[in-house]
Amino acid sequence: MLTPLVAGNWKMNTTLREGAGLVMSLRELIKGVDSVEILIAPPFTHLHHLSHLAADSPIKLAAQNVYWEKKGAFTGEISPEMLKDVGCRYVIIGHSERRQYFHETDETVNRKLLFSIKEGLKPIVCVGETLEEREAGKALTKVRSQLKKALSGIVVGTLKEVAVAYEPVWAIGTGRNASPEDAEEVHSAIKELLFDMFDTEFANSVRVIYGGSVKPDNMDALMAQPNIDGALVGGASLKAADFARIIKFQSQK
């Protein structure tokens, strides 16, 4: 059984002082938790400081984005080496907000993912359909297409770890979320695709997590589904008590 992965994506929220307070509160609330892998993805400006505050705790750091070059004249970008230097081991790639607002494509997501793997970062690659695509019955087709393109060119032997986050675009920041059954359908399709693309050992190692208005009151039902391996949490990760309750979900898988 895979270790559940619960990641808090802070997006463009919190000052450094607020972020530090959030980490310190969370540390206290999750003492003794050892059965869940816990990540936070704060703004880039917080990473160095929070890496010290999270030391000797279950909390690990992830970045919200990355670029596909080691260094150079790429104003505003950040490299895997820079992220690792401040304590990051994971990176979120292809979040729907990056695709929507900053025009990321399946091709740029693939470039970021391949370079992150090469440089030793563990990617969490995001896929998900819009409301129009879901209502048109194209959700599974869209998700499969995004994932196939994102993972194109991967050499399994070079991988340490990769996770997939299914985040229906229509459920992000809207208060709406996919029902556990709807989410399970997509997660199952993602795992089937992984088995089609890769060998059994690698496919079995990939955690597929759900993102889209995850809250304390729906986490238990989501995690009861057989193919949901964790959560990518947005707004609820900005409240220590809520995020701690999500981390300490109760499930009867």
Cα 235 versus chain centre, distance: 14
User: Who's near 160: CB < 8 A, 6+ residues apart?
Assistant: 117, 120, 122
Contact 213, 171 (CB under 8 A): yes
DSSP character for 164? Answer: E
Give start and end residues of each alpha helix (H) in the chain: 16-29, 47-53, 80-85, 96-102, 106-118, 131-135, 139-150, 180-197, 200-205, 216-223, 240-247
> How big is the chain by its Cα radius of gyration, in Å?
17
Burial 67-106 (b: 16+ CB within 10 A, else e): bbeeeeeeeeebbbebbeebbbbbbbbbbbbbbeeeebeb
Q: Catalytic one among 37, 46, 95, 97?
A: 95
Give the C-alpha separation, 210 to 197, whole Å. 21
**Residue 167 among the catalytic residues:** yes
Q: Catalytic one among 37, 97, 133, 167?
A: 167
The alpha carbon torsion through 154, 159, 161, 165 (nearest 10 deg) reads -10
Environment class of residue 108 by beta-carbon count within 10 Å: exposed (0-12), middle (13-18) or buried (19+)? middle
- Say how many C-beta atoms besides its own lie within 10 A of residue 137's C-beta: 8
**Residue 95 among the catalytic residues:** yes
Which residues are tagged catalytic?
A: 95, 167
